[in-house]
Amino acid sequence: MLPHQIELLSPARDADIGIEAVNHGADAVYIGGPGFGARANAANPVSEIERLVRHAHRYHARVFVTLNTILRDDELEPARRLVHALYDIGVDALIVQDMGLLELDLPPIQLHASTQCDIRTPEKARFLQDVGFSQIVLARELTLPQIAAVDAALGPRDAPGRAVLEFFIHGALCVAYSGQCYISHAHTGRSANRGDCSQACRLPYEVRDLQGRILAHDKHVLSMKDNNQSANLRALIDAGVRSFKIEGRYKDMGYVKNITAHYRRLLDEILAERPDLAPSSSGRCTYTFTPDPQQNFNRDFTDYFVNGRQIDIGAFDSPKNPGQPIGWVVRTAADHLEIETNDPAIELANGDGLCYLDLQNHLVGLQTNRVERLGPGSDGGTRWRIHPKDPMGSFKDLRRGTTVNRNRSMAWVRLLERPSAERRIALWVQLRTDGDALRLTLTDADGHSGDATLPGPFETARDPLANEATLREGLTRLGDTIFEAVSVDVALPAPWFVPASRVNALRREAVAALMAAREAARPRPTRAKAVEPPVPYPDDVLTYLGNVYNHKARDFYARHGVRVIEAAYESHEALGDVSLMITKHCVRYSLSLCPKQAKGVTGVQGTIRAEPLVLIHGDERLTLRFDCKPCEMHVVGRIKRHVVRDTERQAREVPLRFYRTRPSPANA
């Protein structure tokens, strides 16, 4: 990818979704392989990834495979074999977290540093560039000035070996810095760094101070709204971002189609304004729908920290999709309810998902079984009768005047279940004579050409005008290709008659030649060379936060000057109270209890201190500690005994080899 190309990077749970991501405008797609990806339930066989690769490469779009978990020693060789298999089928890059992979005998495949590498500083980003990473996924928590500082640290954007900056622009937000969350493993044994997060951040908690006073009850205080950078794309480009990433390898087809199309349109508007920028793949998309991010699952939207700290970034009331308000309840009955919509354009359908907030501010879902239009409403909307799928008695606090939201439109779902986009590459068609033969030249928008020749001689057409129209139509019949003719130039010395079958054969031969030329010209990304001698790591001590889980990773950091290298949290050497999450989100700030908020407020300044708070969920108790200098929060706790016991039992049953700094308790 060249320094002034812009890349829209979409997620794919499987190959079919990845293919539709390309069709809807993705310049690149990231997908999980058969193992070692940070979404354990989004794995794909190599043969399916190959099918996606073949489709993407037709548009010069790229395919990245996620191999971004931390690996045990006994997993390194299977991972190495998988990388070779992925390289052999044409995968363009690997997204990795574990530095042990850089110590293996890998093919010359391009490497991208995963967001799990926790890339927040210019020094960390520069180090990763210097050890051979070609693309770097920045932490979601960075501000525009911080992104610009990273960009500057990497050197001139057009310098050889310069890494591309990648940034998440849409989707779910992890509250912790990626790669710095261990609460799932501590409580359940399911490690987020091993692709199996249990999502403790989406649970409801009670928040208490050290005196036991309740500050928040039954609130999802670690649950963030969803990321949406639609308004910040130009600023992100100016700060140095070149790859714009959509989150969602667990998302369905409709989500990927819609969100990809949404950002494709926004980026194309910017590219039209900026001749210094270009897309990183070929083709223009047309859609059968108008993209709308509100139509997909979301927890409301935030642009997080891009424009500085905001108070309203949390989805504290519910981790579910609240939807959009469509009206209110006007009547309830034993087996149905009636609502009035606030816009006559709103249409309801059987199967729509509705919801409302009960008196405790909990979101209650209501799926429609059957809807009936009753007529005009009192305020210009429409009155509807709704028969829910579940009994009316199960809907707590549903009463007259209750605001009703819709969080799933079946009309929208059905629209995106059908073919919904076409992606075509502009084509210039030229037909000339070559002696008594015809030569067809096809030139695409990227400057690639394909030729085909049809030998003569040819008879003169009886109806020259009709003959030329038929000839032009035959030359531009490109429906089963990726091309669309934008210009047809026919220059013949006489109105030669060419049978339709021969025109079709000539066109197919020229298209095949053009496709071969495109494939021959498609650059394959290569592995960047590491700086020699090895550059030093920014720190000379690595705690468990370094996620070193195998001896190859340990060797990598030692080779780069790290003197003290602790084992990963999953090695179970940090058994006491430690930071299970490190977050930029601050519960004190969100509850208006931050000392910085009180600064300058008469009667309040000095009375609020950043003392620890306690989170309680059932029997779980976690301590919140606040590091005000970097403005960060630490969620502190310890690993459960049953997690340690289960791992020790598993190690006795199946040989597990991973990095430790001291003997295993089972072998002591």
pLDDT at 2: 74
Decide: residue 297, CB within 10 A, 0-12 exposed, 13-18 middle, 19+ buried.
middle
Decide: residue 56, CB within 10 A, 0-12 exposed, 13-18 middle, 19+ buried.
buried
pLDDT at 524: 92
**Residue 486 pLDDT greater than 70, yes or no:** yes
- Among 218-227, 260-269, 602-611, the range scoring the smallest mean pLDDT is 602-611
Task: Please state the rounded mean pLDDT for residues 369-379.
Answer: 91
SS3 115: helix
Q: Per-residue pLDDT tens for 391-427?
A: 999 999 999 999 999 999 999 999 999 999 999 999 9
**Residue 33 pLDDT greater than 50, yes or no:** yes
Share of the chain above pLDDT 90, in %: 89
Say how far apart CA 648 and CA 667 lie, in whole Å. 10
Q: Per-residue pLDDT tens for 620-653?
A: 999 999 999 999 999 999 999 999 998 888 878 8
**Residue 604 pLDDT greater than 90, yes or no:** no
Task: Please state the rounded mean pLDDT for residues 167-182.
Answer: 97
Q: State the number of CA atoms in the 13 A half-sphere of 582 facing the CB.
A: 18
pLDDT at 665: 55
Q: Per-residue pLDDT tens for 465-479?
A: 999 999 999 999 999
Task: Please state the rounded mean pLDDT for residues 15-20.
Answer: 98
Task: Please state the rounded mean pLDDT for residues 354-362.
Answer: 93
Two structure tokens written together for 142: 């960075």
Structural contact between residues 76 and 495, judged by C-beta atoms closer than 8 angstroms:
no
What does the mean pLDDT of the chain come to?
94
Q: How confident is the model at residue 607 (pLDDT cuts 50, 70, 90)?
A: low
Say how far apart CA 150 and CA 415 lie, in whole Å. 42
Say how far apart CA 133 and CA 68 lie, in whole Å. 14
Q: How confident is the model at residue 603 (pLDDT cuts 50, 70, 90)?
A: low
User: Which of 461, 490, 647 lies closest to 570, judged by CA?
Assistant: 647
Task: Please state the rounded mean pLDDT for residues 546-551.
Answer: 98
Two structure tokens written together for 90: 């044409």
**Residue 249 pLDDT greater than 70, yes or no:** yes
Structural contact between residues 640 and 182, judged by C-beta atoms closer than 8 angstroms:
no
Decide: residue 602, CB within 10 A, 0-12 exposed, 13-18 middle, 19+ buried.
exposed
Q: In sequence order, what are the residues at sequence separation of 6 or more whose Cβ sits closer than 8 angstroms to the Cβ of residue 503?
A: 471, 474, 475
Q: Per-residue pLDDT tens for 306-350?
A: 999 999 999 999 999 999 999 999 999 999 999 999 889 999 999
Q: How confident is the model at residue 95 (pLDDT cuts 50, 70, 90)?
A: very high
DSSP structure string for 198-237: --GGGS-EEEE-TT--EEEEEE-TT-B-EEE-GGGHHHHH
Two structure tokens written together for 500: 């339709």
Q: Per-residue pLDDT tens for 128-170?
A: 999 999 999 999 999 999 999 999 999 999 999 999 999 999 9
Query: Distance between the two ends of the chain, CA-based, in angstroms?
Result: 51
Task: Please state the rounded mean pLDDT for residues 107-112.
Answer: 98
Residue 424's DSSP bridge partners are 284
- Residue 457, preceding bond cis, omega within 30 degrees? yes
Q: How confident is the model at residue 600 (pLDDT cuts 50, 70, 90)?
A: low
pLDDT at 668: 40
